[in-house]
Structure 1
């Protein structure tokens, strides 16, 4: 997720800005924005929206093109491109159809919203509320006339009886359904009131009282800010006394009226700017749909690329294998679990195929060299016997005839010939051993004991070299030929000892050490041998040649020892690797169970 955000940070920023400007344009059209609803502001906003949309489309097109180039073109699979095209079309076509349908639906709904019937209802609702308020405010005018009439008629009863005057006014308040009734003088001084707490008395404005002084008709006073309506009228039967009546309008009704007025204003503002609102809605919808399309196409490209890249890698690897290149591997990239398992199994199959091929090549090579060794041994051994007999006959026949001073030289020459014959016989015997390598007789044997026996024997022959033997189980059982594996381990340890002696001829200050690790695992047994000898030297670069028959680095070597070792290990379903290291050599042997 973070990687996706980093790669598309510019698109996300432009999308956020474009969406913000789109909403700002919409709010400005309905006069709910912090920007003033003017023609100039709307023009600026629409131009900004167009520029941001062009930038957004440009970045999205560039990113999709880059994704196609990086994730699809380099794989070179036509199937990949085809499925990406299908997926994009199946995403694009429904989105476009839904967009068109949504825009038509929004336009239709907006038009229905401004239908003549709806407009009539809106206007009538406001007029109804306004008429009700006017009726309440006008009613106070008739109420004060009636209250004044009753008060004038009851003058004789009320004029000198303040308590009865107050009770009379309170009765009138209940009958006429008003909130306050006051009797005041020409200076607005309170004479009598229905208020229990006279502190709450609020006198009428001076202008109203002056108007009543010049005109005996009742005067209506409206205080919309305090939701209060009042009326003031002269009491004809009282000297310079005035009746002042107050009626409070219900706050809810007043709020409803204000809200109705605001709603009507908003309604007509939206109606007037309906075209602009449609454009704003289309812009916002286009922005969101574009982003969703970009996300869906990007996901499709990434998914398809991951899927088809694995298939493409398998195709390339299988083609290379078909051409005989068994070193080819399928890159184990992160993809679907099933495809990852397929890649691992394919690579495992290639490894097994390569091992099988190497074993076949080794067996064919050994068989060819074995046939050659058998013929050489036969051809060389046949004349050796008559040569040896001839040498013995010459010695017996001519020993007495050689002058005394040449006797010693004669015997030395015959000795040299005999030594050479013995060396040839030894070589012939090795040829015969190599040619007649028997098939292993497999039985369960303990490798720990095999190693211990060979180490004990070699320690007796040369005690100057330390041999460390470590193993992870007391018994490590392998189905093998005891005699052949004993020969393998003996030859390898003996080679390490000889390598250490060769190094000792050149330098003396080093640890003469051989370490052997024998480890038993679930599916295989691993042997690791490390010595501090001369190593592989100049043959480190072509280390595999060391296993070829008749290849040797020793002065008097035949080059058959490691070939025999390799053949025995291969016959035991194993593999040997020679690894060059600093100041020594390392050998790893793996036996599959």
Structure 2
């Protein structure tokens, strides 16, 4: 069964039932876990209580005995008393000497498969090395779980006389019965709840899909070339009403703009495309011109790094030429801009490469780290940086005494940000709202497409561009986009 082909009503019912089933399974799992933890704590505390009480009885016997209080006299000291203590506390008692040999047991018949005559050396070693000289061993035998605690018995002067062993059987019959009864009651409750969920989901889905079907039918009938009717639905939810109002508003706007759109759409599209392409071709020319001037000014045949510098200048020119070539090729295919590509880039290196084409000495670069990897188009990222830096250069007056442009690349969790700060003339308040609009410019030359293009590129990669500015103090642009 393909869930994508299911109707909305079926999906609502199935999801409601699944929600109840998942909740029931989770509650049952938590309940079983809780019961097991309680049983574990109960047996642990019960063994500790019995051990404490038995030790008190043993200490009393040792205090009152007339026999010498030595290890070899333990069988005589507890000749009959060990059975009395067993009868009082209903727990088998085994006494071993310090070498692990059985001295006395309250079990009258000692079977080899149940009571060992000698303790395991590991038990003796562990008991001696523990801080409180207490060791508990847990094992399973014949489907039942046993705990055996081992502690030292001492006299009044805290001299160790023997090792006390208490075998304890964990009987969970009562807790298991109680758990089984609770799970049965929970199952009955959730069966009723599933039935209620199905009925509830049926009526809710019927109410929702009725309105949605009406809206869907009207939308399918909508045509640009004819007059469309508005949707009229009564007694619906707030969300459906908002959807209907949005559709009716769209119909009004559609009718108002249909005639204008038909006459101006093609002409305007080609006009804007021509301006955009002209601006895109002009962008690489400025870096190319700056690169050639820099090469001409700094060329020194005697420089030992002349070949490396020639390669860097050549790579920069080739990259910009490739950009122009891609623009021209794309424009020939119905005037499209270069296709957006997503490739893993070291943003720090790309920004540094974009800054290398500028000759201004006051441009400073501050990367947070040497490597910040993100997915972006290499050519588009260079275009973003060069446009913003060029705007910063143009915003600084020529006679300014201390010009400065600071470019930073910072890591912000799942995002990377490029910050370009200048101390130029700033942006006036009345022009801030229009700064990213196409064809808007405050310069005497240019078509005003640079920032609009930057905004379009950044938003294509689910990023954002913001700025802050103060007159005569400067402007800061911040470009942020996700790494993935």
The answer to whether the superposition gives a TM-score over 0.5 is: no
TM-score range, shorter chain: 0.3 to 0.5
RCO higher in 1 or 2 (8 Å CA, sep ≥ 6)?
1
TM-score, normalised to structure 2, is 0.32
What TM-score comes out, normalization by structure 1 length?
A: 0.27
Higher helix share: 1
